[in-house]
């Protein structure tokens, strides 16, 4: 049974035991030090989480880059930190099929997130609890970039399947006020619209500092009627995640081990300037008028840890966080119709670039696989550059993909551009925003009836190489 985490703290302990967490004990300024460390950690090979213990003017600590490397990502899954990206991809797919796993509901007394309560709305001050800081220079304020946010469907508040746990960027606008980005195509916007039609407030819980798989599922695009907590149990290999009822709202449940839980309301029919904010494509998204939340109640653990992420020019922590949780749903959807597909790498800029490895059933099949990707809900608008490789090429290994491109692609027949297709507005090359051309590159070996006049013989690895791979790994680990 893989190691399972019910809170952030136990995961940080594991990261430290594996040499994947460093502590900065000296006093630092909130700006620009915390953001600079997040950028720096992401620049390193297998960058660690960075814990700041002493931030000027604040009582508590901050941790950044928790998900920001393949080693940390493997440890999140309870795998050895050396597990390859492809191994992690297949392990997530195996566990995915265990959905749904009902969460375990703890009593208030059992839940660590209820250790401290601030229930007088006049005493709410986010700056007392969270060491807030600016992430990128031109950001419009201090942001929560990694919160897991819980809302219910106003028309069916009792329906647990429609309880939504999602990640949305939050701009702090006062001691008890924050702004939220609720994009029209995300689940929370469906709930907001139903409430705003009746001019009703939307109850909301913003949770900060969660077990790593709660954060992971909060940023995974699953269906509206699929409960994210039941996926966390699946990805914990069948071990239920622990939740507890919110203090203010009977139908909202929060992770029992959260460091901080902010409870309050989205104000209906109100929009105020939000942004700009440095986003995952490596450029700023501009100012917009967006929703506002009033916080009226806080619970938190003693000595809470503020978990937040840096994002900017790829790769940063967010690219690791949304790498496989974008790839897995696409793989599941394509594989259902085309079982020859071996793996999907949709890790590049949230699936704008996508590499698929497949067996080729008949001539032209590579393009059929690309068409199937381009007819999935995510791939249809996000995926712009699609590369199809043979089943013996690891799509997560870019040197191998480059080998396929250099030895399998004849540009006159294997490269196709389809103009004027649905696009992704945050892609700064999309013009007009939301329209782009699709580029398909078929880097598979030709198969009958497509002619293959220069059939090549692939090299076989020398006998016994697997044994030596295991032995060399073991010797390295002992050094």
Partner 1 sequence: MKCPRCDSNKIEVIATSPVGNVWEVYECMDCFYSWRSTETPNIHEKFKLTKEQIDNLPVIPPVPPLDK
Under the rule (CB under 8 A), what is the footprint of partner 1?
29-31, 56-59, 125, 127-128, 134, 137-138, 140-142, 171-175, 179, 181-184, 189, 192-193, 196-199, 269, 271-274, 276, 284, 286-290
According to DSSP, residue 160 is labeled G
472 C-beta neighbours (distance < 10 Å), count: 10
Question: What is the enclosing helix (H) or strand (E) of 329?
Answer: helix 324-337
What positions carry a catalytic annotation? 279
Complex with partner 1: residue 42 or 292, whichever CB lies closer? 292
Give how far Cα 232 sits from Cα of 64, 77, 167, 235, Å.
22, 11, 15, 5
Tracing tokens 């899954």 back to the chain, one arrives at 77
Q: Give the nearest distance from C-beta 58 to partner 1 in angstroms.
A: 6
| Token pair recorded at residue 300 | 């938190």
Q: Give the nearest distance from C-beta 114 to partner 1 in angstroms.
A: 22
Task: Compute and round to an integer the Cα radius of gyration of the chain.
Answer: 23
- 151 - beta bridge partners? 164
Q: Please choose, from the candidates 220, 209, 237, 222, the residue with its C-alpha nearest in 3D space to the C-alpha of residue 79.
A: 237
23 C-beta neighbours (distance < 10 Å), count: 14
Q: Give the nearest distance from C-beta 185 to partner 1 in angstroms.
A: 9
For the chain, counts of helices (H) and of strands (E): 15, 24
Q: Give the nearest distance from C-beta 306 to partner 1 in angstroms.
A: 13
Q: Please choose, from the candidates 307, 309, 291, the residue with its C-alpha nearest in 3D space to the C-alpha of residue 178.
A: 291
d(CA 282, CA 371): 28
Complex with partner 1: residue 98 or 288, whichever CB lies closer? 288
Q: Give the nearest distance from C-beta 40 to partner 1 in angstroms.
A: 20
- On the 0-12 / 13-18 / 19+ scale of CB atoms within 10 A, 152 is buried
Do 252 and 245 form a contact (C-beta atoms < 8 A)? yes
According to DSSP, residue 176 is labeled S
Complex with partner 1: residue 2 or 36, whichever CB lies closer? 36
Complex with partner 1: residue 133 or 331, whichever CB lies closer? 133
Complex with partner 1: residue 58 or 265, whichever CB lies closer? 58
Complex with partner 1: residue 282 or 363, whichever CB lies closer? 282
Q: Give the nearest distance from C-beta 377 to partner 1 in angstroms.
A: 19
């Amino acid at each position: 049974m893989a190691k399972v985490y019910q809170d952030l703290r136990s995961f940080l302990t594991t990261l430290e035991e594996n040499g994947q967490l460093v502590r900065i004990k000296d006093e630092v300024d909130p700006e620009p030090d915390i953001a600079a460390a997040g950028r720096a950690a992401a620049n390193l090979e297998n960058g660690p989480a960075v814990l700041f213990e002493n931030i000027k003017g604040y009582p508590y600590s901050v941790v950044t880059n928790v998900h920001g490397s393949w080693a940390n990502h493997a440890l999140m899954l309870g795998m050895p930190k050396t597990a390859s990206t492809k191994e992690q991809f297949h392990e997530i797919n195996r566990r995915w099929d265990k959905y749904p796993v009902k969460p375990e509901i703890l009593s208030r007394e059992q839940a660590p997130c209820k250790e401290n309560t601030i229930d007088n709305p006049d005493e709410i001050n986010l700056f007392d609890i969270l060491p807030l800081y600016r992430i990128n220079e031109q950001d419009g304020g201090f942001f929560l970039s990694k919160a897991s946010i819980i809302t219910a469907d106003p028309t069916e508040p009792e329906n647990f399947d429609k309880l939504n746990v999602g990640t949305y960027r939050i701009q702090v606008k006062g001691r008890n006020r924050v702004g939220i980005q609720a994009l029209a195509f995300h689940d929370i916007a469906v709930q907001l619209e139903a409430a705003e039609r009746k001019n009703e407030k939307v109850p909301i819980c913003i949770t900060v500092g969660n077990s790593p798989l709660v954060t992971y599922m909060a940023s995974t695009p699953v269906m509206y009627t699929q409960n994210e907590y039941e996926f966390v149990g699946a990805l914990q290999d069948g071990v239920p995640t622990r939740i507890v009822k919110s203090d203010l709202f009977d139908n909202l449940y929060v992770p029992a081990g959260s460091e901080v839980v902010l409870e309050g309301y989205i104000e209906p029919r109100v929009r105020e300037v939000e942004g700009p904010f440095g986003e995952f494509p490596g450029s700023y998204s501009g100012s917009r008028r967006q929703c506002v939340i009033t916080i009226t109640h806080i619970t938190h653990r003693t000595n809470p840890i503020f978990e937040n992420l840096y994002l900017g020019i790829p790769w940063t922590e967010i690219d690791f966080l949304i790498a496989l949780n974008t790839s897995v749903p696409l793989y599941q959807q394509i594989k259902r119709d085309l079982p020859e597909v071996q793996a999907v790498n949709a890790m590049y800029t949230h699936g704008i670039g996508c590499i698929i490895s497949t067996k080729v059933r008949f001539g032209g099949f590579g393009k059929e696989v690309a068409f199937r990707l381009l007819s999935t809900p995510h791939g249809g608008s996000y995926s712009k550059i699609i590369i199809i490789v043979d089943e013996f090429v690891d799509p997560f290994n870019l040197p191998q993909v480059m080998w396929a491109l250099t030895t399998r692609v004849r540009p006159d027949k294997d490269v196709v551009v389809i103009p004027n297709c649905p696009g992704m507005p945050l892609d700064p090359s999309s013009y007009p925003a939301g329209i782009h051309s699709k580029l398909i590159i078929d880097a598979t070996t030709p198969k009958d009836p497509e002619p293959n006049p220069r059939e090549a013989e692939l090299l076989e690895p020398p006998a016994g190489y697997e044994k030596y791979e295991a032995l060399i790994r073991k010797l390295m680990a002992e050094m």
